[in-house]
Amino acid sequence: MYHVVQILFSLQLPIALAVTGSHFTLPLNSSNNKCSPTLSRTPRDIKSVIYIGVILSDGDKDVEKAFENGIQAANEVLSQSGTLSSYQLEPIIQFVPRDNVFIATQQACKILDRGIIALYGPSSPSLAQALLSLANRFGLPYVETHWSLAPPKSTYAIHLHPSIESYGIGLYEYLTQVEKWKRMTLIYNKPESLLKFTTLVNNYEGTLKIKSWDENASGARAMMAELGSGSEKNFLVDIPSWQVSNFLVMAYVHNMTGYQYTFIFTDWDIATLDLTAFKIDVGARIKAISILPKIMTLDMNKARPSEMSIYRKPIHETIGSKDLSNGNPTIQFSLIYDSLILLAHGLSTVTRTRPLLPQKLSCERPPGLWPLGLSLINAVKSVASETIRGLTSPFRFDKHGLRTLFDLTTLELTQGGFKPTGVWNIDERMKVAKQPAITLPKQLPKTKGVVLKVTTIPDAPFMIPIKFDAYDRPLGTPDAWMGYCIDLLNEIAADVGFNYTVHITPDRQYGSGIDFGNGTVFYNGIMGELIREEADMAVAGFTITYEREKLVDFSTPWMTLGGSILFTRPKSQKPSLFSFLQPLSPQVWLYVIVTYLAVCLCLFVAARLSPHEWTAPHPCDERGDTRKNQFTLLNSFYYNVSALLNQGTELAPHATSTRLLTGVWWFFALIIIATYTANLAAFLTVENMKSPIESAEDLANQEKIKYGTLKSGSSRDFFRTSSLPTFKKMGEFMDKYPDATVSTTKEGIDRVLQGNYAFILESTWNEYYAQRDCRLTQVGTLLDSKGYGIGFPQGSPWRDPVSKSILKLQNAQILANLKRVWWNDLTSQNHVLCFVNQGKLRVH
């Protein structure tokens, strides 16, 4: 037994003599230089010291406080032990340079010479390995409280951190059985930390992506930007707790705060942080995994005394709140605390049958095993979990000192901080508290704290990008866009209460199902993003259809429309050689010719029959007195055609019959000439244009003019599923000629302008583009009737509030105002309306 007494002397001052565990005073009378001390002590208060060796790296100075508090709790255990009530533990702490094995070994040898019963190692793997070898050499228990990715197996070692195998099993079962993740992204900090997830990686059957976390700010931002634009929503994050806040800030910046996002952090000190500022109603779920229970959040008045007595004394009385982080001990603090309690219980067990005889060990003499070393380490490993409740209880160790039994607590961030949601251990497996379903409050708080991810497709007049980054990509901020949908979205966001960022769907398609033939249907475009919950809502010219309604949710329609055909206006034709005949129809020309011939013949016959048309020859005529008739057959034709051409002639009828006949012809010629002249003037001023197609039936019954829709969208689905013969035939044509469909509306417009192509699209776009380009026009009537709506993932809590907001906007005539601004108010956009008169005047 070793008794330590410390006496402090001071000249001309009272001397304080301290005995460990008690105090007594020796008053000195400096006068006459005589010392007459008065000693007052109680022998049973003097306690023997049991030393514990502690070697720490220079970077481990923050754990020194943990030993001070842990020693107090361990000494309380010893004081309740019958055999060791007169003993107390005391650590001998030495700091050594990190990774300097030589100095660490020297300091350890000095501590061994003091007669220690156990040796605590540092966090440095190289130093820990050297000190473990030294402990094995002397048969001294070695305690490791730092995380070791490859802990050395030793009879004399004990590792307080859970074993990688047991931890991996718990993590795998939680992610697959509770969270039921089919896809996830693992973010790790250091390559060696991936060893913790070996069991998960080897057994996980879903889609697993692995990303490396860059502690450099620029690298971290680049990675978060990539994740924010990707499709992954479930993240397992293994980064230091002090970087978690930065991670969540970057997640907020990159719009990863929607309710479909889940972040599970694996750093065991995460629960000590105050992250309530990142908790958003109906926002991303932030969870953590730890072996530390939420001690300080438990209600002491409601807890059972048997469960809380072990905590009430050591934690709330022995440990001051200044030693805790956010009301909870850190993992390093807790493991040191628990190891000292386990060591105290082990000492109590060993000394029941044999005396405690610490032995001074020397590195300079031949090594010898400490007789009690093996018994002590086995006693520590054998401490029953029922008899001790440490901060990280329960405990069980295998023969190599690896910890196989522990409670893995799952936590979820709430407005009041992290709350436990379940517990896993190797014996009882996963026990989960029933979690309420995510529901939207009756009235969303208008705090502007929620940032929703809006997926869209750039397409005028709905979504028009106006600001771009250095790579000519549209920015995601609301002020980087303009258009009908942006104005609509701003009105809804102000009414419902949220912020948003704009994301362009990668393939710029509205989305259709692709059947792979094995029962699997893959949806691309906006539909795919909503089905996979990669976006909070879709705002674009997104048509509501029956097939889409079965897979995603839609708001109230904010615009009604129908399918239509966009084609080029008929081009003016060059006048032909006989274009002068166009004022009158061929039938009229035929009737005029027949009438002309008939009148000429009648005039010839009438002149022949009437004696008044026969005149005597001129006296100077040498041919005699034979009478002549001026209306020969040739003169009859000449006379009538002169009347048609408004030209005079020397011929004049004399007989009543011929005069009557020519008078009627003159009147007929007057009407025909007036009509022809008026119609000719109209043909000279009005272009004669004719469209080769006038309806959908015209398109379906020919193949010279190609026609098509967007490659993926409601228009394409309409023709694919239609049972009407005309539309079914048109759908088969598009299947036969895949190149007839286009990827974007702009591409379709360009093909129409190139000629011999009709683009089938919604009437809203048809009207918009036809008003802005006089070369375009709508052909025929609407093919169907449908509406545009805002799309949501199924079960989205935002659908009902947004639908109510749309109804408010309709009632206030705001939607009609927006339509007038973006379709008809062309003055502000430097456009003019196209008016083309296609009418014709023709006599039939």
Binding residues: 543, 548, 714-715, 762
Q: Which of 797, 804, 744, 830 is nearest to 462 (CA)?
A: 744
Q: How far apart are CA 594 and CA 588, in angstroms?
A: 10
Q: How far apart are the first and last CA of the chain?
A: 135
CB 257, CB 275: distance < 8 Å: no
Q: Which of 275, 284, 285 is nearest to 325 (CA)?
A: 275
How are beta strands 285-290 and 396-397 bridged, if at all?
Answer: unpaired
Summary count for the chain: helices (H), strands (E): 23, 35
In a 13 Å sphere around the CA of 691, the CA atoms on its Cβ side amount to: 21
CA 203 to chain centre: 27
Which string of b and e fits 783-815 if b means at least 16 CB within 10 Å? bbebbbbbbbbeebbbbebbbebbeebeeeeeb
Binding residues for L-glutamate: 543, 548, 714-715, 762
CA 459 to chain centre: 21
Is-cis flag, bond preceding 394, omega within 30? yes
Which string of b and e fits 526-551 if b means at least 16 CB within 10 Å? bbbbbbebbbbbbbbbbbbbeebeeb
Q: How far apart are CA 727 and CA 716, in angstroms?
A: 11
* 644-652 CB contacts, 8 Å cutoff, 24+ apart: 644/596, 644/669, 644/672, 644/673, 646/673
CB 319, CB 296: distance < 8 Å: no
In a 13 Å sphere around the CA of 635, the CA atoms on its Cβ side amount to: 16
Q: How far apart are CA 414 and CA 251, in angstroms?
A: 18
Name the packing angle between helices 586-609 and 633-644 (round to 10°).
130
CB 37, CB 26: distance < 8 Å: yes
